């Protein structure tokens, strides 16, 4: 099944202040879009707006042609989920329970199950009965990504998933993104690490002051990464 | 099975689990034998029956607080509601348990569904204060409608309960009936805990926002917990009114709500089995300590503080810790 998530002239507000000033972006199922930009440019707000976590929005977001709306859990049930930056696991539940609670939210015949999650993150398989709160930071990040994938979403948004992680964990996250894309999930990745973005991204969007100011295809980005790097440097 | 044999850690856990189940079955059977141990001591059997009701009540609060993290300061509202509705039904309509108790529980669930729809949108302190307010409203209603509730004197003259037309007068029969309800409620609660619904509740307790991200209807499931908790609390109240043949406004007081919360904290919040133990231990301790000193509340207050600081897992937490140590030594 093909499809896309489309942001159409999205404005977002916290109270009186307008944070997003008309974001336009389309992310195809089975592709990875990297949202890049300096801090405070609206990357996280874009993701939060999609989950219904800002005070007010104008414009619209279409998910496979249907307008995304309603409370957060309903949006998740429509097929989109968010892995926020703070990687919060259900700390007092075991790793297994964390995974099971997410799997239970997916359709019964959904393809991605706990065995598949353990295949991507073998480390979680070794920690199944351990309380999730006792995992290391990198393991917790694996768990929240696995948890998001187990819902079997159509689209998955990752907010700086590798920040502060050791290289082995960064590699595990990269692999999980590849697997998710291979399974036809559309991914929006907010990432500070340009090397990781260049390794997995199909499209690159540069955000500035609540808008997307430049977009690159993978070929363009690989041809001149310096151009992107310049846009991401404080002048 | 070959996996089990090949892995000593799993084998040990499996045998430990077997031991635990055997131990739990032993305790359950011992509980059922209480009437035989208390022949010639009718008061003790009555106290044991009260303790069983307290255990059901404690379990009902843990369904809400332990499962979803919502703290109620007014759980006595449902206990008292159940007692008065069941008492009035028995007096005015029929003393048949199979009619009175289900009707009472359904009525409580309906009232809880309506009030809960507003309450569960609140979190933390706001929710706790609103539950207290709700219980105070119910408390006041008893006095407003004093010509049918008996006001300060309480509801008196609730007739002897019947089951399928047979009056239940024997203290032993009463005990077994109450004990059966407790076991059934506990078994159902433990079963739900292991089901997807139970897991979803716990994820809400852990982090409501993340639960929403994976598609869990947080407010809907909180409301379900609130309604089930109210229903079981009202069931405990209904049984108490029928058992005592009376209901008093004290059942709805904030002091009663505080006591129920103490059962749960004493036993271990969120453990289901713990609050059941908490309700039983508290009922006996309250009786014996209060017969020794009129300042018993001071001691209980001190004990409460001690538990929260030293053993936040309550009785269940302490037992679990001891069990793990024993298992550790058995290696």
Chain B partners within 8 Å of A100 (Cβ): 196, 199
Task: Answer whether A73 sits within 8 Å of B210, measured CB to CB.
Answer: no
Q: Rounded to two decimals, what is the model's pTM?
A: 0.90
The pLDDT tens digits of the residues spanning B215-249 come to 999 999 999 999 999 999 999 999 999 999 999 99
Q: Which two tokens stand for residue B140?
A: 């006041």
Interface of A with B in 93-112 (CB under 8 A): 93, 97-98, 100-102, 104-105
ipTM, 2 dp: 0.90
Task: Answer whether B214 sits within 8 Å of A147, measured CB to CB.
Answer: yes
Going from the C-alpha of B13 to that of each of A14, A135, B185, B193, the distances in angstroms are 51, 21, 27, 20
* Interface mutation vs chain A, best among B213, B216, B224, B270, most A CBs within 10 Å: B213
Chain B partners within 8 Å of A77 (Cβ): 215
Q: Scanning the structure block, which residue is given the tokens 């607080």?
A: B65
User: What residues does A32 pair with on adjacent strands?
Assistant: A187
Interface of A with B in 163-182 (CB under 8 A): none
CA–CA gap between residue A63 and residue B147 (Å, rounded): 61
Task: Answer whether A73 sits within 8 Å of B216, measured CB to CB.
Answer: yes
The confidence band for B294, taking pLDDT boundaries of 50, 70 and 90, is: confident
Chain B partners within 8 Å of A73 (Cβ): 211-212, 215-218
Task: Answer whether A101 sits within 8 Å of B202, measured CB to CB.
Answer: yes
Quick one: closest CA in A to B203, which residue? A90
Residue scoring higher pLDDT (B293 or A77): A77
Chain A partners within 8 Å of B206 (Cβ): 90-93
CA–CA gap between residue A53 and residue B139 (Å, rounded): 39
Is some CB atom of chain B closer than 8 A to the CB atom of A148? yes
Instruction: Of A143, A51, A52, give the one whose Cα is nearest residue A102.
Output: A143
Instruction: Of A167, A171, A68, give the one whose Cα is nearest residue A120.
Output: A171
Is some CB atom of chain B closer than 8 A to the CB atom of A51? yes
Q: Which two tokens stand for residue B317?
A: 């937490």
Weakest-pLDDT range from A173-182, B125-134, B250-259, B315-324: B315-324
CA–CA gap between residue A198 and residue B33 (Å, rounded): 71
Q: What average pLDDT does range B255-280 have in this prediction? A: 94
Pairing between β-strand A186-190 and β-strand A155-159 as defined by DSSP bridges: parallel
Task: Answer whether B200 sits within 8 Å of A101, measured CB to CB.
Answer: yes
* Interface mutation vs chain B, best among A54, A68, A85, A105, most B CBs within 10 Å: A105
Residue scoring higher pLDDT (B175 or B303): B175
Contact present, A45 and A20 (Cβ < 8 Å): yes
Domain A4-231 class in CATH = alpha beta
Chain B partners within 8 Å of A148 (Cβ): 213-214
Instruction: Tally Cβ neighbours within 10 Å of residue A43.
Output: 26
Contact present, A133 and A94 (Cβ < 8 Å): no
The pLDDT tens digits of the residues spanning B13-33 come to 667 788 888 888 999 999 999
Instruction: Of A36, A21, A24, give the one whose Cα is nearest residue A227.
Output: A36
The pLDDT tens digits of the residues spanning A20-69 come to 999 999 999 999 999 999 888 999 999 999 999 999 999 999 999 999 99
**Across the interface, which of A76, A93, A97 has its CB nearest the CB of B215?**
A76
Q: What average pLDDT does range B275-289 have in this prediction? A: 94
A134 secondary structure, DSSP code: G
Instruction: Of B136, B132, B151, B22, give the one whose Cα is nearest residue B84.
Output: B151
Task: Give SS3 for A159.
Answer: strand
> What residue segments make up the domains of chain A, in order of their start?
4-231
The pLDDT tens digits of the residues spanning A164-217 come to 899 999 999 999 999 999 999 999 999 988 889 999 999 999 999 999 999 999
A82 secondary structure, DSSP code: E
Write the CB contacts of A233 (distance below 8 Å, at least 6 apart in sequence): none
The pLDDT tens digits of the residues spanning A21-30 come to 999 999 999 9
**Across the interface, which of A83, A88, A151 has its CB nearest the CB of B215?**
A151
* Interface mutation vs chain B, best among A47, A52, A72, most B CBs within 10 Å: A72
Within 13 Å, how many C-alpha atoms sit on residue A56's CB side?
7
Whole-angstrom Cα Rg for chain A: 17
């Amino acid at each position: 099944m093909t499809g896309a998530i489309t942001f159409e002239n999205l404005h977002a507000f916290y109270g009186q202040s307008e944070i997003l000033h008309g974001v336009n972006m389309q992310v195809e199922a089975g592709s990875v879009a990297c949202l890049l930009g300096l801090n405070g440019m609206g990357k996280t707000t874009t993701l939060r707006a999609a989950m219904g976590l800002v005070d007010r929005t104008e414009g619209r977001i279409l998910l496979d042609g249907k307008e995304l709306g309603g409370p957060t859990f309903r949006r998740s049930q429509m097929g989109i989920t968010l892995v926020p930056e703070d990687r919060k696991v259900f700390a007092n539940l075991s790793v297994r329970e964390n995974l099971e609670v997410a799997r239970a939210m997916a359709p019964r015949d959904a393809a991605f199950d706990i065995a598949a999650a353990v295949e991507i993150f073998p480390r979680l398989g070794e920690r199944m009965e351990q309380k999730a709160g006792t995992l290391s930071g990198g393991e917790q990040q694996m768990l929240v990504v696995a948890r998001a994938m187990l819902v079997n979403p159509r689209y998955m948004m990752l907010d700086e998933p590798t920040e502060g992680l050791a290289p082995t964990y960064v590699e595990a996250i990269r692999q999980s993104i590849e697997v998710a894309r291979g399974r036809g999930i559309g991914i929006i990745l907010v990432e500070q690490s340009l090397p990781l973005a260049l390794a997995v991204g199909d499209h690159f969007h540069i955000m500035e002051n609540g808008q997307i100011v430049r977009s690159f295809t993978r070929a363009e980005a690989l041809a001149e990464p310096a151009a992107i790097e310049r846009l991401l440097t404080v002048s | 099975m070959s996996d089990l044999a090949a892995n000593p850690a799993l084998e040990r856990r499996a045998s430990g689990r077997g031991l635990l189940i055997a131990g739990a079955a032993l305790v359950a059977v011992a509980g059922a034998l209480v009437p035989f141990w208390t022949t010639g001591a009718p008061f003790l059997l009555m106290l044991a029956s009260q303790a069983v009701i307290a255990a059901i009540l404690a379990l009902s609060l843990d369904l809400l607080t332990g499962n979803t993290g919502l703290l109620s300061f007014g759980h006595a509202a449902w206990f008292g509601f159940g007692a008065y509705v069941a008492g009035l039904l028995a007096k005015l309509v029929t003393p048949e348990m199979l009619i009175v108790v289900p009707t009472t529980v359904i009525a409580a669930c309906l009232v809880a569904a309506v009030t809960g729809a507003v309450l569960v949108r609140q979190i933390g302190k706001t929710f706790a204060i609103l539950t207290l307010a709700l219980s105070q409203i119910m408390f006041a209603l008893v006095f407003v409608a004093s010509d049918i509730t008996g006001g300060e004197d309480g509801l008196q003259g609730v007739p002897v309960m019947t089951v399928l037309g047979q009056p239940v007068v024997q203290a032993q029969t009463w005990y077994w009936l109450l004990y059966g309800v407790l076991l059934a409620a506990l078994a159902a609660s433990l079963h739900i805990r292991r089901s997807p619904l139970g897991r979803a509740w716990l994820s809400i307790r852990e982090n409501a926002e993340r639960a929403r991200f994976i598609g869990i209807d947080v407010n809907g499931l909180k409301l379900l917990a609130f309604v089930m908790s109210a229903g079981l609390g009202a069931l405990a109240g209904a049984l108490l009114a029928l058992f005592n043949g009376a209901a008093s406004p004290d059942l709805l007081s904030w002091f009663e709500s505080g006591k129920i919360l103490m059962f749960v904290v004493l036993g271990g919040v969120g453990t289901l089995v713990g609050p059941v133990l908490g309700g039983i231990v508290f009922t006996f301790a309250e009786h014996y300590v209060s017969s020794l000193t009129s300042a018993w509340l001071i001691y209980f207050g001190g004990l409460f503080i001690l538990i929260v600081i030293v053993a936040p897992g309550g009785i269940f937490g302490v037992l679990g810790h001891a069990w793990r140590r024993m298992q550790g030594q058995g290696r």
